């Protein structure tokens, strides 16, 4: 689709539906032109977020499990296409698509077939085509834990690098504090070092940049003999009533792996943390967490924080006048994209070296030091990076060369 074919009035209408809080109430696609215009603009923002998450997974040596790829609430299908761009379609037996909008499913199916002509693509006309496997109600509910449930972490999951009394302890780092983790996959091969992730803090929600949501009251698990390998979910939590979320999680536990992206807002992040706690009895946490224990953000002293990250925008958004027009029209800052995400897998995740932490959000860089909020099995803590102790690392942070995963000795 060329920019000259974009229906700008449709984009204004779609954006207004989100801002008014009515986007989740009904199917708002009126024509294929709506979907094509959305796919050219808003959906690209979703795709850049998926790129951020999928690139990290590849660097860490993660690979998709066997089974079908299922894009639930697919909208224009950007999540499924992004996944297949990063993990070759030859390793995926089929792509399933489902959305409450038949128009959206047809559009997503056509776009997937155009890009991956040898892939089996199936759009479910009705969610109840996917019959539930033969499991008792007790079995279905036993896999979903209450958000306050806890699992004792294995000894290897607890970092011995920090001796802290509070999850918000003030930790100061000195040489040799910072080195990038080299990640070893299940096959024992080293993955590339984590690349820098750059971005300014945006005060904008990205919930409006995905397709219509699936609010079915008849959501069931897929056929037992045709299992879901990877389940893709994108920007659904803020629009799903509690009962529908419960049904979605019943479907989710039938998958081998779940990749879930939400806006980088406090509300969406906290909702995704609650999902993590409900599902971690049935899955291993792959990312963003570096551990399998209860989320440190749930500590009372961390109530003001939320687990969010920033995906970079591609260079063309700064040079193409049409992107500037879109940003002005939608009231969006395209410099970077805030997101929350969660990757779960029933298989053992690629191992991280001891002492690995994840930095949350962006560091705050001052004249003589930088403050970084980081999380590991010991909780959420703020670290001080002194310029005099680590001048090279401080210079990198000041230039925006920021990596979310570090191995620290403090």
Would residue 338 count as lying in a domain?
yes
Q: Is the peptide bond before 288 cis (omega within 30 degrees of 0)?
A: yes
Would residue 226 count as lying in a domain?
yes
12 or 258, higher pLDDT: 258
Reported as a single tens digit per residue, the pLDDT across 75-126 is: 999 999 999 999 987 788 999 999 989 999 999 999 999 999 999 999 876 5
**Do the Cβ atoms of 76 and 39 come closer than 8 Å?**
yes
Scan for tokens 């999951």, then name that residue.
157
Question: In which element (H, E) is residue 43 found?
Answer: helix 42-59
Lowest mean pLDDT across 64-68, 197-201, 352-356:
197-201
What residues does 190 pair with on adjacent strands? Answer: 184
Pairwise CA distance, residues 364 & 394, whole Å: 11
**Do the Cβ atoms of 76 and 38 come closer than 8 Å?**
yes
Would residue 132 count as lying in a domain?
yes
Position 21 scores a pLDDT of 66
Reported as a single tens digit per residue, the pLDDT across 365-402 is: 898 898 989 899 999 998 888 898 888 888 888 887 77
Kindly report the three-state secondary structure assignment for every residue of 395-410.
Answer: HHHHCCCCCCEEEECC
Label the pairing between strands 379-386 and 170-173: parallel
Reported as a single tens digit per residue, the pLDDT across 128-151 is: 444 333 333 333 433 443 332 222
Maximum mean pLDDT: which of 136-145, 193-202, 325-334, 396-405: 325-334
398 or 65, higher pLDDT: 65
Half-sphere exposure of 24 (CA within 13 A, CB side): 14
Which are the contacts of 58, defined by CB distance < 8 A and separation ≥ 6?
86, 87, 191
Scan for tokens 């970092």, then name that residue.
159
Half-sphere exposure of 148 (CA within 13 A, CB side): 1
Q: Which two tokens stand for residue 9?
A: 């009035």
| Mean predicted confidence (pLDDT) in 33-56 | 95
Position 226 scores a pLDDT of 63
259 or 303, higher pLDDT: 259
- CA 406 from chain centre, in angstroms, equals 19
194 or 171, higher pLDDT: 171
Lowest mean pLDDT across 156-170, 215-229, 316-330:
156-170
Would residue 42 count as lying in a domain?
yes
- CA 193 from chain centre, in angstroms, equals 20
Domain count within the chain? 1
- Which residue segment(s) compose the domain that 338 sits in? 3-146+200-350
Would residue 89 count as lying in a domain?
yes
58 or 171, higher pLDDT: 58
Position 218 scores a pLDDT of 35
Position 407 scores a pLDDT of 84
Q: Is the peptide bond before 29 cis (omega within 30 degrees of 0)?
A: no
Position 126 scores a pLDDT of 52
* pLDDT more than 70, % of the chain: 73
Would residue 154 count as lying in a domain?
no
Domain CATH code at residue 20: 3.40.50.150
CA angle at residue 227 from 226 to 228, to 5 degrees?
130
**Do the Cβ atoms of 49 and 314 come closer than 8 Å?**
no
> Hey, is 205 helix, strand or coil?
coil
Residue 195 banded pLDDT, cuts 50, 70, 90: very low
**Do the Cβ atoms of 301 and 168 come closer than 8 Å?**
yes
Pairwise CA distance, residues 409 & 153, whole Å: 21
Position 384 scores a pLDDT of 87
Position 403 scores a pLDDT of 78
Query: What is the average pLDDT value for the chain, to the nearest integer?
Result: 77
Lowest mean pLDDT across 29-33, 146-150, 203-207, 372-376:
203-207
255 or 197, higher pLDDT: 255
Pairwise CA distance, residues 339 & 195, whole Å: 17
Position 400 scores a pLDDT of 77
165 or 288, higher pLDDT: 288
* DSSP per position, 83-149: HHHHS-GGG-SEEEEE-S-HHHHHHHHHHHHHH-TTSEEEE-SSGGGSPPPS--HHHHHHTS--TT-
**Do the Cβ atoms of 229 and 346 come closer than 8 Å?**
no
Handedness of CA 98, 101, 106, 110 (dihedral sign): negative
Closest CA to 288 of 315, 307, 305: 307
Would residue 175 count as lying in a domain?
no
| Mean predicted confidence (pLDDT) in 320-342 | 91
Q: What is the pTM of this model?
A: 0.77
Q: Directed axis angle between helix 78-86 and helix 42-59, to 10°?
A: 30
Would residue 408 count as lying in a domain?
no
Residue 223 banded pLDDT, cuts 50, 70, 90: very low
* DSSP per position, 239-295: G--HHHHHHHHHHHTTSSEEEEEEESSHHHHHHHHHHHHHHTTTSEEEES-SSSS--
What residues does 154 pair with on adjacent strands? Answer: none
**Do the Cβ atoms of 372 and 385 come closer than 8 Å?**
yes
pLDDT value at 262 more than 80: yes
CA end-to-end span of the chain: 52
> Hey, is 80 helix, strand or coil?
helix
């Amino acid at each position: 689709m060329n920019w000259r074919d974009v229906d700008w009035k449709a984009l204004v209408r779609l954006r207004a539906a989100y801002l008014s809080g009515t986007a989740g109430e009904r199917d708002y696609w009126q024509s294929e032109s709506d979907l094509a215009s959305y796919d050219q603009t808003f959906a690209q923002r979703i795709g850049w977020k998926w790129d951020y998450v999928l690139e990290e997974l590849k660097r860490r040596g993660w690979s998709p499990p066997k089974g079908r790829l299922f894009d639930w609430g697919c909208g224009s299908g950007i999540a499924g296409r992004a996944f297949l761009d990063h993990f070759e379609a030859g390793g995926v037996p089929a792509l399933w698509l489902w959305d409450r909008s038949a128009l959206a499913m047809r559009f997503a199916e056509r776009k997937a077939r155009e890009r991956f002509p040898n892939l089996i693509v199936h759009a479910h006309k009705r969610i109840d085509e996917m019959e539930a496997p033969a499991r008792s109600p007790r079995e279905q509910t036993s896999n979903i834990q209450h958000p306050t449930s806890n699992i004792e972490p294995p000894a290897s999951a607890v970092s011995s690098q920090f001796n802290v009394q509070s999850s918000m302890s003030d930790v100061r780092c000195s040489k040799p504090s910072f080195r990038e983790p080299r990640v070893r996959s299940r096959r024992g091969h080293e993955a590339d070092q984590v690349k820098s992730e750059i971005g300014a803090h945006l005060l904008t929600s990205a919930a409006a940049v995905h397709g219509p949501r699936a609010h079915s009251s008849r959501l069931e698990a897929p056929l037992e003999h045709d299992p879901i390998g990877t389940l893709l979910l994108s920007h659904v939590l803020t629009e799903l009533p509690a009962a529908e979320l419960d049904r979605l999680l019943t479907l989710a536990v039938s998958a081998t792996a779940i990749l879930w992206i939400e806006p980088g807002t406090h509300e969406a992040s906290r909702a995704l943390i609650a999902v993590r706690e409900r599902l971690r009895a049935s899955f291993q946490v792959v990312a963003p967490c570096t551990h399998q224990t209860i989320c440190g953000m749930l500590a009372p002293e961390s109530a003001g924080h939320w687990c969010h990250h920033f995906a970079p925008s591609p260079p063309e958004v700064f040079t193409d006048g049409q992107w500037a027009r879109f940003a002005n029209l939608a009231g969006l800052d395209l410099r970077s994209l805030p997101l929350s995400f969660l990757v779960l897998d029933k298989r053992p995740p690629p191992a991280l070296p001891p002492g690995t932490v994840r930095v949350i959000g962006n560091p705050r860089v001052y004249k003589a030091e930088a403050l970084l909020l980081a999380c590991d099995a010991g909780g959420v803590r703020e670290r001080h990076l002194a310029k005099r102790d680590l001048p090279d690392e401080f210079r990198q942070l000041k230039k925006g060369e920021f990596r979310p995963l570090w191995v620290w000795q403090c």
